[in-house]
Amino acid sequence: MGLGRPHGPDFRTPSPGARRELPADASPPVLPPLIGPPPRPVPVASGPGTDATRVVRESPRGRLLVAAGLVAALTGALGGAAVATAGARLFEGPAPAPVAALPRAAPAPPAGLTGLSATAARVLPSVVSIETRNSGGSGFAVDERGHILTNAHVVRGSSQVTVVLSDGSRLSARVAGTDYGEDLAVLELDDPGRLTPATLGRSADLSVGEQVLAIGSPLGLSGTVTAGIVSALDREVRLGGSSRTAVQTDASINPGNSGGPLVNGRGEVVGVNTAIASGRGGGNIGIGFAIPIDRAAPIADRIIRN
């Protein structure tokens, strides 16, 4: 018995020969929000004492699930029963120059590691779990001043959040700013010296078939690494009457991965994991989407500077 037709946003194939370029400037897009108002949560099974919800958005062809923190009553996860909810879905003045700290040489992996193991080891110290009162997800450090990039839907409705570092340390952070039109947010740690900044690559340099890793906290399981390839580039994803292009990947992206990095084989961040298409039974079917880092980085820079 098959899974049936996959359903999610309207998927559009990139035009043959279309060029992928870096943004001409860092001006914010004058576009409506990708998703619009948050949809009404749909209850799902939960354990005693939890308030488990899952948010889906229906469309004529199906639904797209935001890869935010879904509830999981998991023994030992986040110190007990992990409870989080999936959130709603994917600045004035002259455009500033990119933050100098963003492009960095990737740190050397521990001795003896090669291939994907070495790649994961480079990136994991930069990835964090994000906990709010109503939701949760992932994020990654973008500079040495304590700034973390994540999805706006992960922190929707929150001004203060808890960030869990790769070593298990729990730190307070404030929401420095959001861009709901692009589903991006920047957090600022109260204790910036604890973060290892990630290395940002160029999504414009990606190729279909290139190997990538998705890193984050699916179902509250922090430090989870999944591998796949770039399935498509410039995939147009239509949601809420508006559309954006995204990197499509078959690396497993699940609730809780929202805001975490999609990285190439060199350990460079090339996208921000944001959403998945799901079969009618729910769950990952190998169709995930990430915001290209070439679009996300200038927005993060603008939020930080303002």
205 is catalytic: no
The answer to whether 119 touches 70, Cβ cutoff 8 Å, is: no
C-beta of residue 202 within 8 angstroms of C-beta of residue 239:
no
**In whole angstroms, what is the distance from residue 144 CA to residue 130 CA?**
18
> Is position 234 annotated as part of the catalytic site?
no
Structure tokens at 217: 């906290």
* Pairing verdict, β 284-292 and 242-249: antiparallel
**154, 185 contact by CB (below 8 A):** yes
- Separation CA 82–CA 217 (nearest Å): 11
Q: Which two tokens stand for residue 154?
A: 């992960």
Any idea what the Cα angle at residue 50 is, between residues 220 and 214, rounded to 5°? 15
CA distance 201 to 265: 11
Catalytic-labelled residue, pool 183, 250, 294, 301: 183
Q: Please give the single-letter amino acid code of residue 256.
A: G
Please tell me which residue in 129, 138, 147, 153 is annotated as part of the active site.
153
**7 has catalytic annotation:** no
Q: How far apart are CA 69 and CA 154, in angstroms?
A: 7
Active site residues: 153, 183, 258
